[in-house]
Structure 1
Amino acid sequence: MSEWRVYLSGEIHTDWREQIVSATEAAGLPVSFSAPVTNHEASDDCGAAILGSEDKKFWYDHKGAKVNAIRTRTLIEKADIVVVRFGDKYKQWNAAFDAGYASALGKSLIILHDPSLTHPLKEVDAAALAVAETPDQIVKILNYVINAEL
């Protein structure tokens, strides 16, 4: 395989994606990354902004979720590896859904979260091939699976 495709899903309030991307580039690993839209406002408002506003919040959110799903589904389906990060500040139902979707597709799934979330994420962790606690561990996993080196 010449280039590995890695989808970075989940929490958008910290720089974990940037840490993984920069460390992977520094290591010279042949990886291309993709991710959901990480601009929270754009992600929330895309459906109504593009397709027309809605009076009821349910339909406003419904439109946005469907437009975002076009990107999310396509990129997860194309990925070789899906990394899903759960942060401790917010409930990330979308991240859990992405993990389940990737698992259902048989994607190689890596979960990233703080040890304090081990119990609430036990079912998600059970579906993963690896559970990491730091972005550095993700980069080490990528190096190992790509280069077969520790």
Structure 2
Amino acid sequence: MTKSTKWNIYLSGEIHTDWREQIEASVNEAGLPVSFSAPVTHHEASDDCGVAILGAESDKFWHDHKGAQINAIRTRTLIGNADIVVVRFGEKYKQWNAAFDAGYAAALGKPLIIIHQDEHAHALKEVDAAALAVAKTPAQVADILRYVIEGRLDGYTDGSAS
């Protein structure tokens, strides 16, 4: 890929903070040729899409199953089309879906960037081992994307420090 190539970045993981917007703002400010996609981040819509479209279920298992299947159509397609997959694990909730997305992306051979804090390092050791980078902040992810796309590291020219 060249700098002029449009890169497709899939942003998976926790939905309770503005980490996606932080990455998008940094990347857009840098003028990088990137398009972003993500799962549906409206929690209730994501949970209820199956029954809203296909009809009510009296059993919560089948309610959730219908939603998971419909969400998987979006998730599998967007991860499959991604050039890079970024997965954030937040502090408050266990994001089993994020772990699944990371595993699916790894199985497809997608370059994977993981974001989490140190307290999750042990629990996510297998996920981290599949990643090409493990970051702690959205700013670090934006810097990784800038480097990968432009092939340039701020403060360095021709491989030597400036």
Q: What is the TM-score with the length of structure 2 in the denominator?
A: 0.92
Looking at structure 1, the residues matched to 134 and 72 of structure 2 have their Cα atoms a distance apart, in angstroms, of 25
Aligned length: 150
- Counterpart in the other structure of 2:126: 123
Classify the secondary structure of the residue corresponding to 2:32: coil
Aligned residue type for 1:60: H
Classify the secondary structure of the residue corresponding to 2:112: strand
Looking at structure 1, the residues matched to 91 and 126 of structure 2 have their Cα atoms a distance apart, in angstroms, of 17
Looking at structure 1, the residues matched to 142 and 93 of structure 2 have their Cα atoms a distance apart, in angstroms, of 25
Aligned residue type for 2:101: D
- Counterpart in the other structure of 1:78: 81
1:47 aligns with 2:50: yes
Classify the secondary structure of the residue corresponding to 2:122: coil
Looking at structure 2, the residues matched to 4 and 112 of structure 1 have their Cα atoms a distance apart, in angstroms, of 19
Aligned residue type for 1:112: I
- Counterpart in the other structure of 1:11: 14
Aligned residue type for 2:49: C
How much identity, in percent, do the aligned residues show? Answer: 74
Following TM superposition, by how much is the alpha carbon of 1:109 offset from its aligned partner in structure 2, in angstroms? Answer: 0.3
Classify the secondary structure of the residue corresponding to 1:64: helix
- Counterpart in the other structure of 1:147: 150
Aligned residue type for 1:31: V
Q: 1:90 aligns with which of 85, 93, 103?
A: 93
Gaps of 5+ in 1: none
- Counterpart in the other structure of 2:105: 102
Dislocated runs of 4+, deviation >3 Å: none
Higher alpha-carbon Rg: 2
Classify the secondary structure of the residue corresponding to 2:8: strand
- Counterpart in the other structure of 1:138: 141
Root-mean-square deviation over aligned CA pairs: 0.5
